[in-house]
Structure 1
Amino acid sequence: MLSAVAARKARLAASQAQNTTPVAASPPPSQTKQKAPPQSTSQKPPSSKRKSTAAAGGTAAKKKRREQPARYFAQASADAFKAQDDVIVVDESDAESSFSSSESSEEDVAAPRRTRAWSPSAPLADSSDEDDGDGDEPIVLDYPLPAPLDQVSVEPASALSSFDPVLDQNVFHLAPASETAPKSTVLLLRSGETVALLGTYTLTVLRGTITLAGVQLSASHTTHPVYAPRSSPIPIIQCRLSRSTSSTGRAPLLPALPERIADASPHFDAVLMLQELHTGIEGLGRICRTFDACFAPARWHRNLPRFDLGLDTMYFLARQTPDVSPLVVPPSWDAAIGTVMPPPDVDEHTLLGQGATYLVRGPKNAGKSTFARLLLNRLLSRYQRVAYLECDLGQSEFTPGGMVSLNVVERPVFGPPFSHPSVPHASHYIGATSPKNSPSHYLESLQALIQLYHAELQDAALDEQPNDSRITSIVPLVVNTMGWTKGLGADLERKVEEIIEPAHIFTFAAPSPEDEWNVAGPSHSHPGGATVHAVESVPPSSLASYYSAADHRNISMLSYFHAVFPSDAPSTSSPLATAWDTSLPLCAQPPYQLDCQTALDQLVLTGAGTEDVVPSEVHRALPGALVALVTCEPGTLHSDSDTVSPSTLPYSQGAPPPSPHASRCLGLALVRGVRPHPHARLQLLTPVPARLLGEARVLVMGEMQLPVWGMLDFRTLDGGGDVAGVEKGRVPYLRWGKGEGAGGERRRVRRNLMRRGQM
């Protein structure tokens, strides 16, 4: 091939034929001023600016730099490339580097590289450097030149869906059976195709096998609700070639579908039915504006062309955008979970003596909660019920923050934590996002929950279902631990392992080599008898820059208070929220009124500083506070109700919280108001079903606070109006404007300071 050197040689020869004297040739417009002979300092007109010593000392260097381009062009007549060959053999791997180097060399010959007076990465040269022998050499900073526009390669956005939707070929719209029935769409997938959907929908596998968020789903009559907001990684649907369809042909469709779909389905490997899911969860974005329209594409991506599936609550995503991230399951997660799953044809009686407790541990932001949710969903494919013990106070899976809870789950959960709040089977209120202020109460609460699991759930057999082959005689336990792995957190983590005595431990590799969570191999034995499985940590998602841990904690708290739980939930599992009522803000909802003399036995304040609250001032500390609704066993609570007057609350200063071994937390409530006279009454807002409120006779107040978003009125928030009919300046517990006192002003940070070497 013809090299760039030969091409440059031909261009120089053509230019010499036109101008035999290169020095007399007119330079480019940018070099016209540099061609003039240098003038002395005395011949220059006096300048109005005052020159510094460094500027005066650098005059000689500047004159030499200006003369350098003329001397360079004067030597251009002597072609240095005449002695070289015209043809140079270049490998294909070096083609791009040769082309880019020739382009940069051509620019160097045409015009000299401009010098910079100051660089943020290199110190300025002082006057003493001008006396060195290198003064005639031009100062050139080594920085890459920008490539031409035709050479810049723009990477396309990564594809989220390999499925190519075509209406009436692999996408079919179904007419609703009635006016109130949701719309339906049927998708026909081939093996290996992926589908990414944003929004809320229900999924039913009619034929074949798919994986959703790493969980395998086969054809059944079960409908799975899916919540896929932009604030969390999007679950991906992937078609898998099942053994039954590959060996024995296509299985029949479960429900009776139209003939046009039945005729097209034999050419595909899986048939899915998608339906709209109207639960009101989208209204949480109006309350917490950080998550506004998180179940829909962002406003700067809504105008992008996309295929319409005909459903109002979901959107088809073909390619990834900066604010959308897919849920990726690493291979080590599949391998680790596969080693603990029971075989499909195993006799469940042989599993009775084996341990079925799985603990997930590791540092924060490693993917523990996502892995624990995946492990829970995988176990539900082999067991009818799975228990979930939440030890992370800051990022709980089924309850708001500040609680340790034991939940019993019967169906897989597909969505972030705020999409499936529950009424736990048993829980205890710590009242903070960290156990650092009450470590003993934290450990005692976990010990009470694990004892309850062994006594009531571990070997609680259920009646066998006719079409369900899952194991019913064993309820495995998944334990999600906190990410505090240093200092006191490491000591608490070891205590938790001693209390739970897990059979399998999934440990995440820590970013630092000296962290104690690192293990040598993929699996090894634990001193306590558990098998340790090492899994890789996932890199931080790009969504972390949009939504912080505090944002997720706020939306979980607000989702809990606006959730609607079923009133007649089964006793075998923890009821999950089925809808969300966001028609009114919390400040406008009618509360429950509690007569403290007849319905309240004790009021307890926990947390730092609460021991200083005297009984005469407790009614000032309760308004706007979060309290736990606690039920205690009869005879275990020491109450002074006989000495309490009707106008005071049953509060004892410095009283400890109820013992976790003799009490349970039913849920949280918000104290909307207190009326101490003439009879003490409390106004409470709580989503706990009314059938359970009669058991709660103890209120425990901790350090948790309601997010500010929950105190505002979203109906008038855009216009800056009142809050539930009250002017902004008269709203209690809230203050607009700047803070008062020392430290109330916003801290100012200077970022224009230079290092010593840059001065």
Structure 2
Amino acid sequence: LFPRSVFSDGLILPPLVEGSKSPVISSPTSGTVEKIAREMSEAEKKSPFIPEEWSDAASSVSCSSTSSLQPVVALVCGPKNSGKSTFSRNLVEVLLQRYKRVAYLDTDVGQPEFTPPGFLSLTVVDKSILDSDWTVPCVKTPERCFFYGDVSSKRDPKAYLRYIYTLFDYYQLYFCKSSENKTELPLVINTPGWVKGIGYDLLVDVLRYVSPSHVVKINISAYSKNLPAGLFWLDDGNDDETAHLIEIQSAYQDSFNRSVLIQKDARLLRDMRICAYFRQCIKSKEVNTIKELTQELASHIPYEVPVSSLTINHLHCQIPSSEVFYSLNASIVGLGISSDVFEDLPSCVGLGIVRGIDTERGILYVITPVAENVVEKVDLLLQGSIQLPTCLLEVKDYRSPYLSPNVLAST
């Protein structure tokens, strides 16, 4: 992604390890790229398996929404890889049979449904998403989203909760309260699979704040991995009659007909979503493989963004002023608009890749699929810890910084 022509006098080059002529980070093997491409192809061919129990649960939520005076708010929870995202998709499909649009609040920063990793978002869905391929989750524009900047809520639990609360408040203000100019929409809330320790406490806090009309809890046969039975988020003696708890089993069974976890490579899926997002930069050509995507991004014309026009926020760490350019180079950043705020939180309109920096002119070279008329409004750069997939740095005839072919990859 970093053509040699971009790097000249005054531009940042990768730092070297003392006593060595090689940069500090190893290059991935070609097998990584091949695996991603193979997974992409296989994912497009598979149809989700929806058991009868899941269909009944989704129908129960949908039917109750027509008899209630308030729009349904359904929160889906359960252990990691138990099928929460698949059930949430199916629930959206069922609700779309009764409503023209359905709101979707995604609180899973590691495996979000409609955005790249690192986002918390509120999206309004108006068409089928159940059978979409790997490109679809990243092309929808959320009604509101915030760049959390990490794939786990443990990095900053307070900020994580604040973003969720603000998104829910936004939903209530614009899509829930009755008004002649507003259409009430049902809401589906997808949650992460971290349900132990701090992850459990965060889930309880979210449940208490949103007070959902329905909670769908997915269980597996390994009871120790499941959430507690009953209305676990309520205080002792506090019986919330408005909450309907629906418990279902994971869709996948082992040879003994026991519910088991769905095995997924989380890091691989995150890389696929990031690749899918930045594939939107290439609109004039058809891109079908990682190799083609890498070549196209390497030759893609970047935006020139003056550093003087930006406020740079480092979300989860402090960077010395002398090292800011080094930290930004070859990184993924959130693009924010400080004037577009809700409850004092600026919106994030997308992601960008800082592909090079001219330190003499104070210019950042940024690649992003965000429309030019929106990029012109960006005045806030949000740097988290979302990493650029290393497969995108393997470009023939281009020299990417921070890579070396002569060292072993870490395990």
The TM-score with structure 2 as length reference comes to 0.79
Find 1:624's aligned residue among 330, 342, 354.
Answer: 330
Alpha-carbon displacement from aligned partner over 1:145-170 (angstroms, at most 9, x marks no partner) = xxxxxxxxxxxxxxxxxxxxxxxxxx
Distance 1:430 1:297 in 2: 30
Aligned to 1:475: 185
Instruction: Give the alignment of 1:290-369 within 5 angstroms.
Output: 290-292=35-37, 327-342=48-63, 351=68, 353-369=69-85
Distance 1:666 1:289, change over 3 A: same
In 2: Cα distance, 1:512 partner to 1:700 partner: 40
Superposition deviation, residue 526 in structure 1: 6.3
User: Residue 734 in 1 paired to residue 403 in 2?
Assistant: yes
| Counterpart for residue 596 of structure 1 | 307
1:419 and 2:136 equivalent?
A: yes
Decide whether aligned partners of structure 1 residues 700 and 460 sit closer, same or farther in structure 2, where only a CA change above 3 A counts: farther
Answer yes or no: is the 8 Å Cα contact 2:81–2:261 preserved in 1. Answer: no
Matched, 1:671 2:354: yes
Structure 2 letter corresponding to 1:736: P
TM-superposed deviation, 1:483: 0.3
Residue of structure 1 equivalent to 2:7: none
The Cα of 1:538 is off from its aligned counterpart by 2.3
Alpha-carbon spacing, 1:564–1:388, altered in 2? closer, same or farther (3 Å):
farther
Distance 2:70 2:188 in 1: 15
Are the counterparts in 2 of residues 431 and 702 from structure 1 also a CA contact under 8 Å?
Answer: yes
C-alpha separation in 2, matches of 1:416 and 1:498:
34
CA distance in structure 2 between the partners assigned to 1:442 and 1:616 by the alignment: 29
How has the CA–CA distance of structure 1 residues 340 and 628 changed in structure 2, closer, same or farther, with 3 Å as cutoff?
A: same
Aligned to 1:400: 116
Question: Which residue number in structure 2 is paired with residue 80 of structure 1?
Answer: none
1:701 paired with 2:383, answer yes
Alignment of 1:527-676 (within 5 A): 527=240, 529-539=242-252, 548-563=265-280, 584-597=295-308, 599-600=309-310, 602-607=311-316, 610-611=317-318, 613-633=319-339, 661-676=344-359
Query: What SS class does the counterpart of residue 533 from structure 1 fall into?
Result: strand
Normalized per residue, which structure has more helix? 2
3-state DSSP of counterpart to 2:385: strand
Distance 1:528 1:490 in 2: 22
Q: Does 1:512 align with 2:230?
A: no
The residue identity in structure 2 corresponding to 1:480 is N
- In the aligned structure 1, how far is the partner of 2:333 from the partner of 2:365? 12
**Residue type at the aligned position of 1:439:** P
Percent of paired sites with the same residue:
28
Q: What displacement does 1:511 show?
A: 3.5
Partner of 1:711: 393
Q: CA deviation at 1:450?
A: 0.6
The answer to whether the aligner puts 1:378 opposite 2:94 as a matched pair is yes
Structure 2: any 5+ residue segments left out of the alignment? 1-29, 232-237, 255-259
- Partner Cα distance (1:703, 1:296) in 2: 28
1:129-528 matches, cutoff 5 A: 288-292=33-37, 327-342=48-63, 351=68, 353-413=69-129, 414-416=131-133, 418-421=135-138, 422-459=140-177, 473-514=183-224, 517-519=227-229, 527=240
Relative to the length of structure 1, the TM-score reads: 0.44
Distance of aligned partners of 1:459 and 1:409 in 2 relative to their CA distance in 1, 3 Å threshold:
farther
Aligned partner letter, 2:314: L
- The amino acid across from 2:349 in the alignment is L
Cα distance, 1:734 vs. partner? Answer: 1.2
- Distance, in Å, in 2 between the alignment partners of 1:737 and 1:565 is 32
Q: Deviations over 1:159-193 (max 9, x none)?
A: xxxxxxxxxxxxxxxxxxxxxxxxxxxxxxxxxxx
Q: Matched residues in 2 for 1:621 and 1:296: separation?
A: 34
The alpha carbon displacement at 1:287 in A equals 10
* Cα 1:293–1:737 shift into 2, 3 Å: same
Cα distance change, pair 585–497 in 1 and its aligned pair in 2 (3 A): same
Q: Is the 8 A contact 1:460 1:475 kept in 2?
A: no
Structure 1 position 580, deviation (Å): 5.9
The alignment yields a C-alpha RMSD, in angstroms, of 3.5
Q: Distance in 2 between matches of 1:359 and 1:565?
A: 36
What's 2:4 paired with?
none
Q: 1:660–1:587: structure 2 CA closer, same or farther, 3 Å change rule?
A: farther
Whole-angstrom distance in 2 between the partners of 1:291 and 1:473: 41
TM-fit CA distance, 1:342: 3.3
Q: Secondary structure in 2 aligned to 1:442?
A: helix
State the 1:330 CA deviation.
Answer: 1.3
User: Which amino acid in the other structure matches residue 670 of structure 1?
Assistant: I
Question: Matches of 1:737 and 1:591 in 2, distance apart?
Answer: 30
Q: Is the 8 A contact 1:460 1:474 kept in 2?
A: yes
The aligned length equals 364
- Checking the alignment, whether the CA contact within 8 Å between 1:396 and 1:417 is kept in structure 2 is no
In 1, distance between residues paired with 2:143 and 2:230?
38
The gaps in structure 1 that reach 5 residues or longer are: 1-284, 299-313, 315-323, 464-471, 567-578, 637-658, 717-721, 747-759
Query: Take 1:553 and 1:297, find their aligned partners in 2: how far apart are those partners?
Result: 16
Residue 6 of structure 2 corresponds to none
Cα 1:443–1:328, aligned 2, differ >3 Å: closer, same or farther?
same
What one-letter code is carried by the residue in structure 1 that aligns with 2:107? Answer: C
Would you say the 8 A contact 1:508–1:534 is kept in 2? yes
1:383–1:474 Cα contact (<8 Å) kept: no
Residue number in structure 2 paired with 1:125: none
Asked whether the 8 Å contact 2:166–2:343 carries over to 1, the reply is yes
The answer (yes or no) to whether the contact 1:445–1:661 under 8 Å persists in 2 is: no
Alignment correspondent of 2:20: none
Corresponding position of 2:16: none
Q: Does 1 or 2 have the higher relative contact order (CA < 8 Å, sep 6+)?
A: 2
Aligned counterpart, 1:54: none
Distance between the aligned counterparts of 1:666 and 1:428, measured in 2? Answer: 8
Q: How has the CA–CA distance of structure 1 residues 514 and 562 changed in structure 2, closer, same or farther, with 3 Å as cutoff? A: closer
| Partner AA of 1:625 in structure 2 | S
